[in-house]
Amino acid sequence: MQDTIRTRFDYAEASKILKETLHLDGSPVAFKICKTADEIPEGMAHISENVRHCQMIGMARKEGKIFYATVENHACMGGSWALGLRELTPSLKSGEFYYKLGKFESWPACKRTIDRVPHVESLTTYATLYAPLEKTPFDPTLVLIIAKPKAMLKLAQSNLYRLGGRITSNFSGIQSVCSDACAQVYLSGTPNYSLGCDGSRKFSGIEDGEMVTGIPVEMVQEIVSSLKIVTGAAGSS
């Protein structure tokens, strides 16, 4: 397996700082989108279950599990499409799926939303990899953090510490963990904050008082370094 990031850093130390500083319930999750089987570390377990991507994130976050999943392991059609494992199903593409769930006034409203869901190019992903950040045997594509709003505030402030500016989040209340926190981050190269969605709250253990964010691995080291400064600042609560 080849390294996928040139400037590597201590993932275990970064995880320790994130967990202690943000008072996380569980671990930050290392997530990787693999294009070929060669990118999977030798000896890494292939999950035998058929579950949702957001559940897999929860398994790494709360249970410390390390594994990879291929398309047949992904139970959620929308999630596996967002991550590039499948093509979009006709019922999702037309808006029928979410319309029948009662989440939109009309099919056109569903279609407008689905057409804007960030997603990896279909059928370009071979597998998705999951691990607690402190134990990851692979270089992640991005790191996911599930935490309370105050912790997200500190992450946002850390993101702006060096250059300043504004935080812009992209979400629609559906596909929060797969699209908002993974595909969007992978495609844009910037962190994204999401409120979570009904599915991820039901299946992955995101609590009522928690949100989710994804951070490109290239930005994690700087954000972690800034986090220590931001949380120790005189004006920080």
Q: Give residue-wise pLDDT tens across range 103-148.
A: 889 888 888 999 999 999 999 999 999 999 999 999 999 999 999 9
Average pLDDT over all residues of the chain? 93
Per-residue confidence (pLDDT) for residue 3, from 0 to 100: 53
Radius of gyration of the chain (CA): 17
Residue 2 pLDDT more than 60?
no
| Across 64-92, average pLDDT | 95
Report yes or no: 205 and 196 within 8 Å, Cβ to Cβ.
no
Per-residue confidence (pLDDT) for residue 224, from 0 to 100: 97
Report strand pairing: 142-147 vs 211-216.
antiparallel
Per-residue confidence (pLDDT) for residue 5, from 0 to 100: 73
Residue 65 pLDDT more than 80?
yes
Tell me the per-residue pLDDT of 42-61, one tens digit each, with 9 for 90 and over: 999 999 999 999 999 999 99
Report yes or no: 143 and 217 within 8 Å, Cβ to Cβ.
yes
Q: Which positions ≥6 away from 176 have C-beta within 8 Å?
A: 54, 194, 195, 196, 197, 199, 200, 212
Residue 101 banded pLDDT, cuts 50, 70, 90 = confident
